[in-house]
Structure 1
């Protein structure tokens, strides 16, 4: 099983509702990154969101190693500008067992600010995600510690957003953001985001590269099966996670549009 490069192809492999899971699949080198990035869009994305680049001193050498691996002059920011994917570097600080975010080059974040996350360990990075500590933290820590150079793993997720823009910063009031959504127009007013994430260890420095490829599509453009899958998943998110994603503001309209019964 591999991962595609579109919302429709990614959604069947993404987690639905309920308990969190890593859901990793092994990827080949040819399946790692999108083969035809829109470089102009990447340049525009970084120009509009300069705070998306956050670097510590520890990111310098891994960034150069990554750029050389991709045939790019420079370091982490140049590597991310030359590919479709946003890119983050994680490494263990001397004397610690935990991995920290040491560098980020993110043009199209899904409701997070790299400046708030730089330097944090994995568990603190994921603290806002309901259920991460209980269901995922130990497994993620073990995976990171044992990941070997040469191996590439991928996973994907989904979000419902009120905008088709690559950069999505949700804000504080989901009810206001989704106020214009109804059962009749949900296909055109709800946009589905999927992050195609990959993980691999850089062989020389040992840092771990985390890539995030963002794909966005209007709900109406998706297959009927994916629309129904999303409608059910939106109602099954863990308590607290649905609120974080704004699901109460759109779940009923999405269910009605999909033709399934809305949970009470």
Structure 2
């Protein structure tokens, strides 16, 4: 099974609202990483932002194994992540034991998080900004990580509505300012859906879990009526807390009006 390799394909594969869930699908090895390679864009991001690669001292062996599994000649995530479209992270149990932590990462295209803030943290802390994660999803994620077999690859998708097509999404401005230019009339060109295609697989030798994140971005105008409608309905249905974290109050009305106009036009053309 494949999740797809574009926003158009990934939005229907992601959770559309309601309680948090992992939404994992088993993938075949040939559906693991994207064949699309834009090594120049990724190399530029890593060169300009050297803090995009960080590691705990004891994660070197897992980094080397991850690069080997990916098929890179590199000996670490820094090299391997330049040869694939996906960002790469490792989750490992510390040598002294305890809960698994984020032990290393090569993240060229972050979505509103910084690797330095997450390195060495257990998964519940890594996901702390997500409203409801600790209550609804933490136990399930921990169990999945603990029991994932080396011969299995799983994937999932998520998405966010943003006001930028930058590959690195690390906004610093006030959310009201960020979306102030968005209207129902221009939403097709000023709102973007940013999707993450995430996969997890255990490395057989070190036992580390390799977590990959492939980022895809598209303006609303380039998406089908069905996907735009799904995005609008999902945003409108997101509960409080998460609604605010995603800055939805700033654009939900414009998004809904834009989606309704698209639907009306489609119905008129079909008549």
Q: Distance in 1 between matches of 2:191 and 2:172?
A: 16
Q: Distance in 2 between matches of 1:121 and 1:172?
A: 29
Counterpart in 1 of 2:11? Answer: 11
Moved over 6 A (4+): none
SS at 1:200 equivalent = strand
TM-score, length-scaled by structure 1: 0.96
Q: Distance in 1 between matches of 2:240 and 2:26?
A: 30
Question: Quick check: 1:86–1:105 contact (8 Å CA) kept in 2?
Answer: yes
Q: Distance in 1 between matches of 2:26 and 2:111?
A: 24
Counterpart in 1 of 2:65? Answer: 65
SS at 1:184 equivalent = coil
Aligned length: 260
Counterpart in 2 of 1:187? Answer: 188
Question: Quick check: 1:86–1:213 contact (8 Å CA) kept in 2?
Answer: yes
Shift of residue 236, structure 1, vs aligned partner: 1.4
SS at 2:231 equivalent = helix
Q: Distance in 2 between matches of 1:41 and 1:78?
A: 14
Counterpart in 2 of 1:117? Answer: 118
Counterpart in 2 of 1:35? Answer: 35
Counterpart in 2 of 1:201? Answer: 202
The runs of 5 or more residues in structure 1 that have no matched partner are: none
What pairs up with 1:1-264 in 2 under 5 angstroms? Answer: 1-72=1-72, 73-259=74-260
Q: Name the stretch that deviates more: 62-71 or 215-224.
A: 62-71
SS at 1:188 equivalent = helix
Q: Distance in 2 between matches of 1:161 and 1:231?
A: 13
Shift of residue 74, structure 1, vs aligned partner: 2.1
Q: Distance in 1 between matches of 2:24 and 2:157?
A: 8
Change (3 A) 1:171 1:244: farther
Shift of residue 49, structure 1, vs aligned partner: 2.2
Deviations 1:115-142 (A, max 9, x none): 0100000000001100101110000000
Counterpart in 1 of 2:267? Answer: none
Change (3 A) 1:168 1:100: same
Q: Name the stretch that deviates more: 198-207 or 94-103.
A: 94-103
Counterpart in 1 of 2:268? Answer: none
Shift of residue 76, structure 1, vs aligned partner: 1.0
Question: Quick check: 1:19–1:238 contact (8 Å CA) kept in 2?
Answer: no
Q: Name the stretch that deviates more: 114-123 or 91-100.
A: 91-100
Q: Distance in 2 between matches of 1:139 and 1:96?
A: 20
Q: RMSD over aligned Cα, in angstroms?
A: 1.2
Deviations 1:130-187 (A, max 9, x none): 0101110000000000001020000000001111111101335211000000000000
Change (3 A) 1:19 1:171: farther
Shift of residue 18, structure 1, vs aligned partner: 2.1
Q: Distance in 1 between matches of 2:17 and 2:253?
A: 15
